[in-house]
Structure formats: C-alpha cells, structure tokens
Structure 1
C-alpha cells in the first residue's frame, strides 16, 4: 500500500489499483464515526461512475473503484471535497433509524459454550457476565445487564462476517462498558450471541469462532440469505452503519415466542426513523438518548 499526499484532515492511502482508504482518526469516537458515515452517504448520493463499493467503518472509509473508468486522482479529489463539505457542516445530522433488538441475557446456550472454553478465559471460574460486571466495578450481573440495555448503541460498522454489526455505546466515555476479549479465541460461538470486546458490542450473525465475551443471545435473525422475513425483503443483511440499537431483555418465554414468529415468517423488528444529531448527542447524552428511545413508543 502506497501513501497519497497527506492533508490536514483524514489520511488517504491506496490499496493496490482498486481501493482508496480514508483514515479519519486513529481512535473510535462518535464524531469520527459520524464523519465516516456522512462521507459515505454523500459519495453514494453522487452515483459516481466507476465506484463499485463504499464501506464506512469505525473511524475510516474504504472505497472500491475501477481505475479504467475513474482515474484515482479524480476519485481522491472528489472524496476530499466531500470531506471538506462534511467538516463545514454547521449542525451535522444523519438520517437513520432506531431498532429494538430482543435479547435473552444470561441464557443457557452462551453459558454452556463459555463453560466449555473457560481454559481460554481470564477468569476460569464463573461466567462471562460475572467477569464483565467485576471488570466494570459493578455489584452484580443484574446491574451490568441494566447498564448494557439501558442506553442506545450506534452501529459503527458491519462486517468481519456477513451481517455482523459492531456497536458503540452512546454514552460519555467514562460511562462506557469495557471488557477485554478472551485470552485466546473460542472455536465455537452460538449464532446470534450478543458479545463484547473492548468498548464494542456485537451480534454474531452466524455460528463460528469468536473471542468476545458472551452476554446473551438475540431472539431473531440479523442475517437472512433466503430473505424469508419481511425485514429482509430488500437485502439479506439487516443492520446498516449508522443504525441505533436498543437492546430489550426478554425471558425464555419471550424468546420462544419470538422464535415461533420467526419460524412462521411473521416476525418484524420494532423500528422508527430518527435524525441523529451529533451535537445534541455530545452535549446532553442522557437527555438525547431518552428522546431517541421514545421514538420506539407506539411502534
């Protein structure tokens, strides 16, 4: 990978002949992720000939293009103009949606899996939830679960495996839940496990290896290759960067009920459109979070 001319903002580098990588910041933040999503949205709206894929990430942007159609210098110049336009925005907002995700916390599936891999863990005794509560100085697993579902999460990127969302808690940094990954990865993780590593939450879209702590299991699919559910009629991947997630605890009965709706093909995620206002999120996180979550009332 060679380096393009560095500017005062993001760092631009080339990946072979077909990729432009824009590094907005070295650290994840709401502001950096907002810039990534805003730049991706503006570039997509331009419908540029030669651009085949636009992938916003935690604090960066990857663009795939055809150099035979779009000269690299022209693409870089266009993206730099978009970066400048986003930086000049006086009151940055992003049109997105808030989605409710039902989760069975402390479920038997992830607990059984965790028990099989305790030798890979910092704390061989106990559960991942007990470890996470202790790591965050909380008095109980219940308090940790309350903190986990009590505030919204921003989908900062989608990837690693098909449909897997990485989520960043929309709270001040000192209130963010943080927990290290397993000392060495597991070879098994149940599909739809709600996991956590560092400051990021995720939902494992399929069964497979993993190293994040396991807190519960989501009740409905987030990846549907057959597109059998109404929420997947346009695309097999449910989440999009910029989505806002509200986890909702359910018990076993609630989980089984939702599983029945999924099998019948009738399940729909509760969701509502929202205009995410970066300044308000930074100035009054608690108040703005309540306002965002209230959009789900009556849906």
Structure 2
C-alpha cells in the first residue's frame, strides 16, 4: 500500500511545514525521519533548521538564499525517493519516577478549578477514564511498557513520548480544561496519547502523575550523561519508567547534588517491523537489554 502524500504549507516567509499523517503513529514518525534525514544529507544552501515532530516536520530557511518554491520542489523530490528506515540504532533509558509525589499533588490541588474532575487527583482521574480500578493499577500500566521519544521541544529538553503498545491499549487522558500557570520541574505529564517530562518549572496543561529526580536539561552539564549535550533526550530514544519510593527519590536527589547520579542507559537496535508483528515480545527484549550489565 502506498503511503499517503505529505501535505505541505508555508508559515510566513521562512518556514515550510509538512504534515506526514493526520494520525500519530510510529509509522508516521519513521517516514518523517527518513525525509528529514534526506534533506539534511543534501545540505541545501539556505536551509537553517530542520525540526522533526511526531507526525510532521518543519524546515526553517532563508528565502534570500533558496526560493520557497524551489525548496518545496526539492523536498517533494526527496519525499518520493526517501525509503523509511525500518531499523534504527538507539538507546533504552531507565527513568526513575516517584509517582503520586507531594509536589505535583500540591500543585494539582491549587488548580482543581481547571480540571475535568475537581474531586479526583490527576492519577485517579486517569485511572477512571482508562478503565483501571485505582491509581496504582494505572501506575502499573504506565510504568509497565517502554515509551518511544518522538520529538523534543515546546521548552528546552522536553521529550514527547509515545507508548509502545497496540493502539487500543494506549493510555489516553485529556489535558486540563485550562492550562496551569505552574508545573514542578521534572514532572511526569500526560496529554492525549503522549507522555512527557517537564524539563523546567513553568506553565502546562498535561495531567501530572509524578516526578523524576533525573535532570534532563542542564546548561551547566554537571552530570556525566549530560556532558555530550545539555539536552539529554533525542528523537528515537526509548524510555522505561521505574517506580521508586520516597527514600530512593531522596537518595537520587542527593546524588544529583553531589554530581554522582547516573542513569541506566543501554544501546539497542529497534526494529519497527518486529515491533508491529509482536509488540509484547519486542518490549520484553528491550527490557532484557536494559538490564544487561
């Protein structure tokens, strides 16, 4: 079956926007990745930035160096020629999470007037709308499978993550009715079918489930896993959340402050076709790779 054509539009004089698919999927992400990599390899004069998203991408260009029509024609040509990679070399990363923590709880209670169910916490609401008996059952489902990082952005270092399960099993929770003006740093959030980690404190509209002690954005690059880049996550990373208790969280925070905190990170090959054919088997293999010493 031929892939649906990419839909292009211009944003002002300096941006070309491409909608790869109307639906969010790993298939759409891999196709967008193939096209953007093909554009990158061309090193076209005047192309300034290429930003890959969940099921779309955007190119910022200098119209004085490359005409908008010429860029569009070139990208369409590359689209027709690009063959989506079905296997990538990436990383699987274990992220510790203190679910139902006191800081997001205090924050969500301040903003219940902006929530669909003011009588419930975000975790309780998420459990109810997804058919789970209680918040703990929802946490088990949330932390029980890996997540695929499909884009990084909104604020510096914030990853958007797609749960690696069959579509009918994906956890889905609507965003707040009105955004909050405050979200604790390193909050684990969820909106629609996407999870995220708020890299810095600030406004937000995603449901809040917990916090991680692991910094994911640091301009000073104080920890070993941030030495290569102040922004930790990359598109294509795979994340496995590990529930921890308050004692383990406090210990991790102390290690962060001492500069000794480390994340469990392992190289892995992710094969899209293998995942589509057997999601559970693929996820089991990923978790086995994560715990190889």
2-structure distance, mates of 1:234, 1:55 = 20
Q: How does 1:133-148 map to 2 (within 5 A)?
A: 133-148=127-142
1-structure distance, mates of 2:266, 2:33 = 19
Q: How does 1:250-265 map to 2 (within 5 A)?
A: 250-265=244-259
Q: In the alignment, what sits opposite 1:4?
A: none
Q: In the alignment, what sits opposite 2:287?
A: 293
2-structure distance, mates of 1:189, 1:8 = 38
| Greater CA drift, 191-200 or 15-24 | 15-24
Q: In the alignment, what sits opposite 1:114?
A: 108
**Normalised by the size of structure 1, how large is the TM-score?**
0.91
Q: In the alignment, what sits opposite 1:168?
A: 162
Output one character per residue of 1:30-72: Cα deviation in whole Å (capped at 9) or x when no partner.
1111112232233334433332211001110111122333343
Change in CA separation of 1:148 and 1:203 when aligned onto 2, cut-off 3 Å: same
**Which of 120, 128, 136 is 1:126 aligned to?**
120
Change in CA separation of 1:44 and 1:229 when aligned onto 2, cut-off 3 Å: farther
Is 1:48 the counterpart of 2:44? The answer is yes
1-structure distance, mates of 2:199, 2:97 = 14
**Normalised by the size of structure 2, how large is the TM-score?**
0.93
Q: In the alignment, what sits opposite 1:177?
A: 171
Q: CA deviation at 1:74?
A: 4.1
Q: How does 1:52-71 map to 2 (within 5 A)?
A: 52-71=48-67
Change in CA separation of 1:178 and 1:68 when aligned onto 2, cut-off 3 Å: same
| Greater CA drift, 230-239 or 215-224 | 230-239
Report the secondary structure of 1:282's partner residue: helix
Report the secondary structure of 2:290's partner residue: coil
1-structure distance, mates of 2:39, 2:266 = 25
Q: CA deviation at 1:290?
A: 1.1
Is 1:10 the counterpart of 2:2? The answer is no
Q: In the alignment, what sits opposite 2:185?
A: 191
**Which of 18, 22, 35 is 2:18 aligned to?**
22
Contact 2:157 2:231 in 1 (8 A): yes
Contact 2:4 2:21 in 1 (8 A): no
Output one character per residue of 1:240-294: Cα deviation in whole Å (capped at 9) or x when no partner.
1111111111111111111112111122221122222111111111111111222
Change in CA separation of 1:41 and 1:100 when aligned onto 2, cut-off 3 Å: farther
Change in CA separation of 1:94 and 1:43 when aligned onto 2, cut-off 3 Å: farther
Number of aligned residues: 291
Q: What is the Cα-based RMSD across aligned positions, in Å? A: 1.8
Is 1:33 the counterpart of 2:16? The answer is no
